[in-house]
Chain A
Amino acid sequence: MNKQKLLFSIALLSAAIIAFQLALMQILSIVQWYHFAYMVISVALLGFGAAGTVLAIFKKTLINRIDILLPLLMISTGIIIALVTDVSQMSFIRFDSYLLFAEYSHTGKLLLTYLLFFLPFFLGALAIGLIFVKYVDNIGKIYFANLFGSGAGGMIALCLIWLFFPKQLPAFIAILPVIAGVLLLPVTKRFFFIGFTILAASVIVWKCFNPPQLILSEYKDISKTLLLPEAKITSEKTSPYGVIQTVSSPVLRYAPGMSLTAQTTAQIKMAAFINGEWFGAVTEWKRTDTSLILDYTTAALPYIMANRNKVLVLRSGTGIDVAHAISRGVKYITAVEPNSIIISTLRDEFSRETDSLFFHPGVSIHTIEPRTFLMMDTSHYDLITLPMVGTFGGSSGLYALQEQFYLTKEGFHEMWRKLNAGGVISITSWMDYPVRNPLKILATIAEVLKESGLQNPKEHIAAIRSWGTITFVMTRSPLQQAEIINIRNFSEEMMFDPVILPKLDSGERTRNNQFQDERFFDYVDQILSSESSRFYEDYDFNIKPATDNKPYFSQYIKWGNLERLGEFFGNRSLPFFEIGYLLVIITLIQISLISFILIILPLFKIGWKGKSKTGIILYFSGIGLGYMFVEMVFIQRFILYFGNPVYSASAVITSLLIFSGIGSYHSKYFSFNRKRLIILFSFIISMLIAYSIILTPILQNTIHLNLFLKLFIVFLLTAPLAFCMGIPFPAGLTQVSKTNTGAVPWAWGINGCISVISTALATIIAVEMGFTWVMLFAALAYCLPMLVQWKPR
């Protein structure tokens, strides 16, 4: 077989698999939710592990037919990639995440969905695995092609997502494995393969022009909005941020927690959605409507306290807080919103609907992560507003795993330093039950004030509550008497109640809005007291402030309390409190169980005995875990550095894969030299330990540099490590091939399974212990292969 063609073919197939994975993530996030997409894809990716198992068991038979099997598998992968989304949308298989807990038939549908999406990954992986096993002597170059192709696949998907809607992507991506297969067409069975290729080409052309119709869950925000009278989609754009849609309807209204004294119609022109989920209301600012909406909510608190001249709006979204600031006469407004597409859509397409909000002379817009902006900006403000926390009725923990750096203690410290004398930070939250969001906000504010060395932190906090929302302000100077009077008057006028205010009578807190369970006020008082640490321990949910190391503001689960909460709320209710994090746990359990079976099965064929078995498991598990842990930490750390998750993920994945590929290319110098491998692992471990200490300071001190310099720094930081991390896999496979040929596919399969497990595991470690520990665990994981090399055989 022509080697160049083979390498090109494997690169194309690898590119297709990664690109399809990204496209599928988008598609499933649109029809369902991101977390369910993650769960489905994690199981589907076990196709790699399963391919290893099948290869280990049927190695001889498959290798004997490799000339026919390779093009057959590759072209079949193309056909299935092109068709699989259509099939997933058929009623017999289409599941609804919400109904998983209500209708048991949806569990069966979920299992079918797993199986369906498993297919293309399995077939593609089987082709890659066959090449790895057959040409193991050349593994360095083959793995290089595999990694290079994967890196390119990520970039291809990123480019395609800008151009095409997610539903259109599979058909385009399917072209790659078909070309890969055609490159390897055998001389025998010519007519069959010509016919098969024509079939594949026809399917792809058909699907390019007739992409599947995505049917969204009826419980998604956009599905419900489209049921409103005369509702219609007014704009639709695709980007790596997701599909952005705007919907108009004459009965669209928005007024979160509006006062019961308000007489406004709360009408809005449009609403924006990302992947079918509510993103924000599109409003005008010239008409009185806009100001009235937020003026009748607790969010007006910082404006009724005093006049504001210079305001920073973090995560400005569709601009409603910007409009509010303009209507309150603010002269200078800085809006920070990382989603550049929503900004350009509203500014360029809907300037009439937004009264040219984003062209207002007083408004400057920055499309960057809020926390990154805070780290780079040198200005000072009278008011910093944060976006509303939580969603109406609670998000059920759907955002538990979202990194929210602007809501960490460090984030609040940055904001605090940027306040003028008399300036305030303002943040509003829905009142959830059991209370979590408001308590965590308060805990964060209280701790930051304490850490700032203030004598009496209580004099720097005020909070008011409506029937549904609560707004906190954190003031740079102690609250002034005039401000306190204004807050009291405003509360009375709007029928709100003050919750935190100097010299507050207990009766004042429930004058207009009562609770059946008034323990909330005790909780508030405990957080403000010196006993707050004990309260954090005692409370049923985790309300300790988030930190940069554990930036998961919305993660409230305390594992020790689950049983008690189960008794209290009923076990079947628990998922509805913290579904996001629980899904990761469920995913980890599912993939671990399947992986265990996939790893054990081949042993029936290749035998259980032999010293090398444990060594192979430890070696390939260690490098799989280590590599993925590092990738996860780098992506997370560079999000803050670049201020953009898309650029961060692209830069990290591309540089890691390409430099690992180059490392792999040079792996032959290490394959038969244990000493060199031990030195290599020592170097990787040392670098990881060093990075866990110095990475954050390096990034913090260079965050102000321009994009190109930052990219250069990223490559400098990742290249040597990635180069080294690319060597152990091919070097290990070569070693295995010399001592135990039959175990090569098994070793490859183990690596595949563990790589999938490690993404879920890294998330759990990050949530529970922080990202520094993920890095240290990566170092620990690389100790495993080093020990294997050390061990005399």
Chain B
Amino acid sequence: MNTIAAMTRRIIPAVATRGRIIAMLLIGAAGIAIGVVLRRADATTTDMTEFAALFGLTIFVPLVALVISTASLGSLVEDKTLVYFWLRPLGRWQISTASLLAGLAVLLPLILVPMGILGIVTGDTDALQGILAGSLVGLVAYTSVFTMLGLFTQRALAWGLLYVLLWEGLVAGFSRSAGWLAIRTYTDGALSRVGGSAGSIVDPPQGATILIVTGAIVVTSFVVTTWRLNTMTVD
């Protein structure tokens, strides 16, 4: 555990650069500001929750997770410092774990605080809990997927953005079957199940399904990341 903690502490500052943090906070603040304006314009709780689902869970959470998580291992590959972890007597899974933990540690406050404020702005406790539940599902699932993506390509941001915008944002919204393969379905599902609101989807998945799928995404991403670390060429 000592080694994982040491690597996690090392990755965090590489991921949480000042520029990234400020940019993400600004996006979060913009969302909150829009929420406040909507609230003052007498928007209903349902309207507010739908805004939280649309802006928060569909755009903000995946975008922030993308920017931070792809850098967890991606920045080490890019600046060629991965060698200083890779060539140690460690299991590759330990590097995967450290990178995942580093991403989660940075993203937890970066996502949950703005989304929590957005939930408070709705003025409804159930909505607040739903928004936080959806954010938490998105945080864990997106972090896992994007950490893995950062190890596969140096253009992870571009590919990740395409995935978020095209698949999660567009295709999954139009096709119900494709929706089952989108993380957004489960973040909205969590919002709906916990918050008692439909969010942006009709007939959300069951709570158990949300937990199982989220777990499967985390485990699959973790296994693939570890496999990639085992087989890749390290510069």
Judge: A and B partners, yes or no: no
A interface vs B, CB < 8 Å? none
- Contacts from B to A (Cβ < 8 Å): none
